[in-house]
Amino acid sequence: MLKKIFISAILLLAILSFVVSLLKGNNNGEKSVTVPDRVAVINIAGTIISGGVQEDDIFHQQQGITSGTIMAQIRSAAEDNSVKAVLLKIDSGGGSATAAEEVGRELKRFKEKSKKPIVASIGDTGASAAYWIAACSSDKVYANATSLTGSIGVYMPYVNVEELYKKIGVTSTKIKSGAHKDMMSMDRPMTAEERVMLQNIVNEIYDAFVKTIAEGRKMEEMKVRAIADGRVYTGLQAKNLGLVDEIGNYYDALAAAGELGKIKPDKNGLPPVKTRQQKTGWGYIFGSEMAKIIKGEIINQFKTEAMPVLENNVR
């Protein structure tokens, strides 16, 4: 029985390996083609949050994007000699200020070390933390006339349900180590002292946001503060205010990135691109995930079949 399982597993793995080679087109023995100069396109869509690199998952839909995922692509672009420019393709209403700061620092490091140009393209939305990322180190920022951008500001949400708790007869009690440990709790009002503390935090992050925009856009800080009251602007309004360089779509921004990177364009005037490789359905079925599943099943079968054999030998 064990021998049959082993032979079946080997045959199955061999078949899967052959199918993978066919899908990848690597079974012809031809030499790989030289990669041309290209633009690394980094897609930033959905809510931006702090975190590590996202792994593709066949069972879950990824919501938003993590700072780790963006930073990994920036580092990959810096190490790839074929990449001569980076295009940030943005469609995000914002997210974590910390995530934006992380990505912004990585973009600045990319510019300082690689000297490669960065262009940002804002789609429907590129606001708040997303605008922070777009403006911090880009040589050019593109937006559509109807894009929503800006929203330069910071806020902390706070909800108080103390009166609701009283109506439904819920009492909340805490044992805490300090007077402010439960600051922003929903079941008690915020004190005047705590409000000042939180306002100072918001102001500090806001100052960092404004300074980042002023530096990245080469604007006077006071001019940025005058328009950074948290409101959103259309792409056209943002251009008139100096927050955006050009009105144009993704292809306009891509062409500009290729030009800045001195990349030979195709017949449509566009440079070759490099994007993050995401797994397809075939990749999931015949990739490493399936190999792990098969390996686990083989091990389980060996354990199941081997135990009685060992026991019989002992007897």
Active site residues: 128, 181
Cα angle vertex 72, ends 70, 78, to 5°? Answer: 105
Q: Is 288 exposed, middle or buried, given 0-12, 13-18 or 19+ CB atoms closer than 10 A?
A: exposed
Residue 89 to residue 142: CA distance in whole angstroms: 10
Taking the C-alpha atoms of residue 296 and residue 199, their distance in angstroms, rounded to an integer, is 54
Q: Which residues contact 17 (CB under 8 A, 6 or more apart)?
A: none
Residue 103 CB partners (closer than 8 Å, separation 6+):
48, 67, 70, 71, 74, 133
**HSE (CB half, 13 Å, CA atoms) of 103?**
33
Identify the CA nearest to 43 among candidates 73, 2, 10, 85: 73
- Quote the tokens at residue 150: 């800006």
Q: What angle do CA 50, 274, 257 make, to 5 degrees?
A: 90
Handedness of CA 139, 106, 103, 156 (dihedral sign): negative
